[in-house]
Amino acid sequence: MEESGLPDHVKELIKHIRELKAQIAEKKAELAALQNAGADPEQLQALQQQLSGLMSALTGAYASLTQALKDADMSDEQKMNALQLTAG
């Protein structure tokens, strides 16, 4: 990603999106494990709230990236590259 030629603020947003996706995957796995183990409903609810917060943060990060791509003086190819990089 460092050699992508994208503006630094766009690269930072992409890194943030990747981090949030990783955290979400981790929380989903944790939630599934707790559900399979028959965990306490309060514990499950707390984890679901954490997951919801991460999902909200991801939505906000994508919105920020969309705005940054609109505002940046970038080619269509660079914009597509930025979106592909969010996939990891």
Place of tokens 């514990």: 43
Q: Check residue 35 and give left, alpha or beta (phi > 0: left; psi -120 to 50: alpha).
A: alpha
Can you tell me the mean pLDDT for 66-86? 92
The C-alpha atoms of residue 85 and residue 73 are separated, in whole angstroms, by 18
pTM above 0.85, yes or no: yes
The C-alpha atoms of residue 35 and residue 27 are separated, in whole angstroms, by 12
Spacing of C-alpha 14 from chain mean position: 8
pLDDT at 88 over 80: no
Residues 10-65: pLDDT tens digits?
999 999 999 999 999 999 999 999 999 988 999 999 999 999 999 999 999 999 99
